[in-house]
Amino acid sequence: METTLIILKPDAVQRGLMGRIITRFEDKGLQIVGCKLMKISQQLAATHYEAHKEKGFYPGLVKFMTSSPVLVMALRGNGAITIARNMMGATFGSKANPGTIRGDFGVSNSFNLIHGSDSPEAAERELKLFFNQGEVLDFPRAIEGWVYDMSGGKIE
């Protein structure tokens, strides 16, 4: 099982899309194991996006991400990183396929609604930035056997 960080960005929060996006992840079978509404500080945004510091879009990105509350979630599931990123769609809403979060809800090439970790290493780093020890929970779900085929004794 993988755990990934998802951030519903200020535009998703301001547009009232949180519930609709969360529903998509839950409908897919991913488990929410951590969730909080927060305002990202300048320092946290700078740390989170440090890989982009030298890029021209960096100042605007930090300004955008600190402009309004965001919803951060830890999602868990078999292949959660790839599944979540496929559900998100292409980076720019204008280029994202219908049926994806960005394709259905976004048209902007600046405001793209959602962030998701792009690798297990990034997920581990990012989860530690946004969640304190004990805030990402580990608990069984009664539906697990209906989400995954475990007839062979393990998750397919």
For the chain, report the end-to-end CA distance as a whole number of angstroms. 11
Strands (E), 39-109: 70-77
Threshold 0.85, pTM exceeds: yes
Residues 30, 21 contacting (CB under 8 angstroms) = no
pLDDT tens-digit map of 5-28: 999 999 999 999 999 999 999 999
Task: Write the secondary structure of 96-108 as one string of H (helix), E (strand) and C (coil).
Answer: CCCCCHHHHHCCC
pLDDT tens-digit map of 75-121: 999 999 999 999 999 999 999 999 999 999 999 888 999 999 999 99
- What is the set of active-site residues? 115
User: Strand, coil or helix: what is 69?
Assistant: coil
CATH superfamily for domain 2-131:
Nucleoside diphosphate kinase-like domain (3.30.70.141)
Which residue is associated with the tokens 């805030």?
Answer: 135
Domain ranges for the chain, please list them.
2-131
Which residue is associated with the tokens 């993988």?
Answer: 2
